[in-house]
Amino acid sequence: MHHFDWSGIPNALPTLWTGAVVTFKITLCAIVVGILWGTLIALMRLSGVKPLAWFAKGYVTVFRSIPLVMVLLWFFLIVPQVLQNVLGLSPDVDVRLASGLVAFSLFEAAYYSEIIRAGIQAIPRGQVNASFALGMSYGQAMRFVVLPQAFRAMVPLLLTQAIALFQDTSLVYVISLADFFRTATNIGDRDGTTVEMVLFAGAGYFVICLVASSFAKGLQRRVAR
């Protein structure tokens, strides 16, 4: 029977916080870039320009058909070479964080774009026609009329996707990036407390996701009013 030893956790907290910062960086970057790029992808897919619509549809199809772990590995192999060739970085420079940020941002954009596209299509077409009647261009109608309403309705869904993204960040272990989960397991392997550290890390993810989920549900109730 395993005897739990939690005595090492207080001393491990500073190191665990360092890993948590990496997790938060990946999450926040992927949310911001994912929503911005996802919005453009959604607008391209809804546009009447066929090449743009085909590109957007192909982008979403590709990223939604490939496991995230595989995407992380691909970008881990590709991004370092690109940075070394374009920026002249030394092969010794650690670019694991950069590759993880790029992979998560581009991957999440495909999912955010579908949420945003659905939100845009939920806005009555009559509002777009009314914008045109007032002399607005397509871009102005989207910027000032459609997108503000769509994003207000989409906030709970976007936050829910962000929670799933936060959970998925633990997959960066495949590129040996020291995020919160990887740091916890490393400490556990070092101190012989792997079970305790994995349970503690799991509790950390649970608490953060529980708080975020409660916040999302509250927003959803407010939007529904």
The total domain count for the chain is: 1
Asked whether residue 183 is domain-assigned, the answer is: no
- Contact of 67 with 110, CB cutoff 8 Å: no
Q: Which residue has the tokens 């955010």?
A: 112
**Domain at 67, CATH number:** 1.10.3720.10
Asked whether residue 137 is domain-assigned, the answer is: yes
Over residues 56-68, the mean pLDDT reads 94
Give me the pLDDT at residue 83, please.
65
Q: Using one digit for the tens of pLDDT, what is the confidence trace for 119-129?
A: 888 888 888 78
Asked whether residue 93 is domain-assigned, the answer is: yes
Q: How far is 178 from 170, CA to CA, in rounded Å?
A: 9
Fill in the DSSP letter of residue 3.
-
On the question of pLDDT at 93 being above 70, the answer is no
On the question of pLDDT at 1 being above 60, the answer is no
Which domain does 130 fall in, by range? 21-178
C-alpha distances in Å from residue 182, one per residue of 67, 97, 115, 137, 176: 20, 13, 30, 49, 8
Asked whether residue 7 is domain-assigned, the answer is: no
Amino acid at 158: L
Q: How far is 115 from 98, CA to CA, in rounded Å?
A: 26
Q: Which residue has the higher pLDDT, 188 or 86?
A: 188
Asked whether residue 66 is domain-assigned, the answer is: yes
Asked whether residue 57 is domain-assigned, the answer is: yes
Cα angle 181, 101, 12 (rounded to 5 degrees) comes to 25
Over residues 131-137, the mean pLDDT reads 80
Asked whether residue 59 is domain-assigned, the answer is: yes
Q: How far is 217 from 212, CA to CA, in rounded Å?
A: 9
Asked whether residue 169 is domain-assigned, the answer is: yes
Q: Using one digit for the tens of pLDDT, what is the confidence trace for 31-60?
A: 999 999 999 999 999 887 899 999 999 999
